[in-house]
């Protein structure tokens, strides 16, 4: 203990460290105050203590907000590691009681996963944890990982094939495909082989607005192509469009099974083998032992909750 400056360390309680981490994240004192539930006066006092402890301004006021100095940038990974270590220590020992919890579950997912996973989760939450609330962001792969890294969400749902080491993945179910057409479509009456499939006009779901996808990759292996006439960024609009046009779409089977009656659609098996994919829950490794996150995973992995 002789090499530890206890006087300086006493300036740096956990609140001050959290203010530092959140200033690095939000870059505005008012946003940090709102996020932490503190007054702006408290934030200003914490900044003053940080500056005194480290002998540097740390954050400079600019028209674009509080910009960190080079000293602050160098301190950020060290202070974040301290905060995360303390968070893990608290989480590891704190019991989680769903019935009394008032936590907000923050989820990142596309509408396919929202439709296939969230309803069952909500049924359990409303029954076992009525005080908890759920907030969902429409996030793609890259955005979801960034949100997990920044602690903006607790969990992400989706198909991620090359997960960085700082995240962990819990597989939930394997997904295959169905072809959907509107009821009364010629293919609804005559059935569908590969030639009729290729002769139809297709709609695909592509968040990046591309006009090709996994089906086109599989068709190319056989020297075949199809005509993709429309690309939309989400699955539910795709179902709505197919329901009112002669377009056909090849979509995740669980989504089709749950929504085809609602949209007035007929589901047909694809005339070509398409590689299935696994839908997973993704967490940041910092939450590997978090009781609330582990409860969420147990709910998702248990059929019917």
**SS3 call for 114:** helix
Q: Is the separation of the CB atoms in 264 and 243 below 8 Å?
A: yes
Cα-based torsion angle of the residue sequence 200, 205, 206, 207 in order, rounded to the nearest 10 degrees: 160
Contacting residues for 219 by C-beta, under 8 A, at least 6 apart: 198, 225, 226, 272
Nearest by Cα to 125 from 102, 147, 152, 144: 102
pLDDT at 239: 97
Q: Higher confidence at residue 91 or residue 262? A: 262
Q: What is the pLDDT of residue 2?
A: 43
pLDDT in tens, 53-78: 888 999 999 988 899 999 999 999 99
The answer to whether 218 and 272 have CB atoms below 8 angstroms apart is yes
Picking from 74, 87, 208, 213, the residue whose alpha carbon sits closest to that of residue 151 is 87
- Rounded CA-CA distance 120/276 in Å is 22
CA dist 222 and 230 (Å) reads 23
Q: If you average pLDDT over every residue of the chain, what do you get?
A: 88
**Domain extent listing, the chain:** 6-93, 99-173+278-301, 177-274
CATH code, residues 6-93 = 1.10.10.10
Query: In this predicted structure, what is the pLDDT of residue 80?
Result: 87
Choose the weakest-confidence range: 81-90, 171-180, 214-223. Answer: 81-90
CATH superfamily of 99-173+278-301: Periplasmic binding protein-like II (3.40.190.10)
Instruction: Give pLDDT tens digits for 110-152.
Output: 989 999 889 989 999 999 999 999 999 998 888 999 999 888 9
Domains 99-173+278-301 and 177-274 share a fold: yes
When pLDDT is averaged across residues 155-179 and rounded to a whole number, the result is 90
Q: What CATH code is assigned to 177-274?
A: 3.40.190.10
Rounded-to-integer distance, Cα 265 and Cα 144, Å: 31
Report strand pairing: 248-252 vs 177-182.
antiparallel
């Amino acid at each position: 203990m002789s090499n530890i400056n206890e006087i300086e360390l006493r300036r740096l309680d956990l609140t001050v460290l959290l203010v530092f981490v959140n200033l690095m994240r939000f870059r505005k004192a008012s946003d940090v105050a709102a996020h932490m539930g503190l007054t702006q006066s408290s934030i200003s006092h914490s900044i003053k203590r940080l500056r005194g402890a480290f002998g540097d301004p740390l954050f400079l006021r600019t028209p674009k907000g509080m910009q960190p100095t080079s000293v602050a940038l160098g301190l950020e990974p060290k202070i974040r590691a301290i905060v995360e270590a303390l968070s893990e220590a608290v989480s590891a020992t704190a019991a989680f009681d769903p019935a009394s919890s008032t936590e907000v579950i923050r989820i990142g997912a596309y509408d396919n996963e929202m439709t296939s996973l969230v309803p069952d989760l909500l049924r359990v939450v409303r029954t076992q944890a009525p005080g908890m609330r759920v907030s969902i962001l429409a996030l793609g792969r890259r955005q979801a990982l960034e949100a997990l890294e920044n602690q903006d969400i607790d969990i992400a749902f989706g198909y991620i094939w090359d997960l960085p080491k700082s995240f962990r993945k819990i597989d939930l179910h394997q997904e295959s495909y169905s072809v959907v057409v509107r009821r009364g479509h010629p293919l609804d009456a005559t059935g569908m082989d590969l030639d009729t499939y290729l002769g139809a006009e297709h709609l695909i779901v592509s968040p990046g607005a591309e006009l090709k996808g996994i089906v086109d990759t599989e068709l190319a292996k056989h020297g075949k192509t199809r005509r993709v006439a429309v690309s939309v960024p989400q699955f539910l609009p795709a179902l709505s469009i197919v329901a009112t046009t002669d377009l056909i779409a090849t979509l995740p089977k669980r989504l089709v099974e749950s929504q085809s009656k609602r949209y007035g659609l007929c589901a047909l098996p694809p005339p070509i083998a398409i590689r299935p994919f696994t839908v997973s829950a993704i967490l940041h490794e910092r939450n590997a032992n978090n009781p609330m996150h582990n409860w969420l995973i147990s709910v998702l992995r248990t059929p019917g909750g």
